[in-house]
């Protein structure tokens, strides 16, 4: 009897130790990503839309963080989130500006409709600084890698901000301009569970040869749009202008067709010529009357 009691005690103690080990392991797994993607505000809110910089850990790049400039409605109740992905300026110095990619008129438009807006500075830009995560070379063009690196920053911001009490957990809208538009298409291919819809303004990536100065890898860009389309099931809205000098109508249609024929979910809206270069349709406040009906109709599906 004593022997059996001792055996039972040892078995019970072993089971407790094993369970404790599993609990600690599970806690470590859950705590790791939460710490990596923790978000914290810097400074005080300012202005009519409660502007504030938030610092967000980037789990895809250990030790680095990204910045998001967050704008909020007056109400503190949970609101849907709009994440805005900026362009890349041809003037390198401008990519490091503190308010790079903040299009005030577009921010106002979304906040006035009850959204929290986060302008996310991807690695290498604006308040995030450091080296860019995206890489590109004309000799070995890979637009997918650059898009995925940028999409990782958008995903980190979405994960961190949707955990805040003033942001809804789902129904996120992601809006991208130019290279930011391409980043949103890469995010669409990730099928992030919190993202309801994506608005791609003049999205794409253009490589420029250091030897000739000419644009390179256009066919590869179309090819990579199809690669993204194979996985993308998040609804997307594509908006391009007839006089876009970076992505003219023929190229924009090629990108769209490649994406949807591969399985991507997308709607294409061709805008009339805008100003001297339709590529500025979103950054220029004069573009709102052209795009607002299409964008509002799209985002209301997910409200």
How many Å apart are CA 19 and CA 146, to the nearest integer?
43
Tens place of pLDDT per residue across the chain (303 aa): 454 444 355 544 454 445 444 444 344 334 434 443 588 999 999 999 999 999 999 987 877 899 999 999 999 999 999 999 999 998 889 999 999 999 999 999 999 999 999 999 998 888 898 777 776 667 777 899 999 999 999 999 999 999 999 999 999 999 999 999 999 999 999 999 999 999 999 999 986 655 555 577 899 999 999 999 999 999 999 999 999 999 999 999 999 999 999 999 999 999 999 999 999 999 999 999 999 999 999 999 998
Long-range contact pairs involving 121-124 (C-beta distance under 8 Å, separation at least 24): 121/66, 121/67, 121/68, 121/69, 121/86, 122/66, 122/85, 122/86, 122/150, 122/153, 122/154, 122/180, 122/183, 123/58, 123/61, 123/64, 123/66, 123/149, 123/153, 124/95
List the CATH code of the domain at 40-302: 3.40.50.1820
**Residue ranges of E strands in 19-171:** 39-46, 51-57, 65-71, 81-85, 116-121
pTM above 0.75, yes or no: yes
What residues does each domain of the chain span?
Answer: 1-36, 40-302
104-161 tens-digit pLDDT: 999 999 999 999 999 999 988 888 987 777 766 677 778 999 999 999 999 999 999 9
């Amino acid at each position: 009897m004593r022997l059996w009691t001792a055996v039972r005690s040892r078995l019970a103690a072993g089971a407790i130790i094993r369970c404790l080990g599993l609990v600690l392991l599970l806690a470590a797994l859950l705590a790791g990503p939460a710490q990596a993607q923790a978000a914290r505000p810097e400074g005080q809110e300012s202005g009519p839309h409660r502007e504030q910089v938030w610092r967000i850990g980037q789990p895809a790049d250990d030790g680095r963080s990204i910045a998001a400039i967050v704008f909020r409605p007056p109400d503190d109740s949970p609101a849907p989130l709009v994440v805005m992905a900026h362009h890349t300026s041809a003037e390198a110095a401008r990519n490091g500006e503190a308010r790079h990619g903040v299009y005030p008129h577009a921010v106002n438009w979304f906040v006035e409709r009850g959204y929290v807006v986060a302008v996310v500075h991807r690695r290498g830009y604006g308040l995030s600084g450091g080296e860019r995560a995206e890489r590109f070379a004309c000799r070995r063009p890979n637009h997918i890698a650059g898009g995925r690196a940028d999409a990782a920053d958008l995903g980190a911001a979405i994960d961190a901000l949707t955990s805040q009490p003033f942001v809804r957990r789902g129904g996120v809208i992601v809006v991208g301009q130019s290279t930011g538009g391409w980043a949103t298409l890469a995010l669409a291919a990730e099928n992030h569970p919190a993202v309801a819809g994506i608005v791609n303004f003049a999205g794409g990536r253009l490589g420029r040869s250091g030897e000739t100065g000419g644009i390179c890898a256009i066919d590869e860009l179309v090819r990579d749009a199809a690669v993204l389309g194979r996985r993308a099931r998040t609804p997307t809205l594509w908006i391009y202008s007839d006089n876009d000098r970076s992505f003219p109508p023929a190229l924009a249609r090629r990108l769209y067709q490649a994406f949807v024929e591969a399985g991507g979910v997308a709607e294409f809206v061709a805008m009339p010529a805008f100003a001297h270069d339709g590529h500025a349709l979103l950054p220029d406040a004069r573009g709102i009357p052209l795009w607002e009906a299409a964008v509002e109709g799209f985002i209301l599906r997910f409200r």
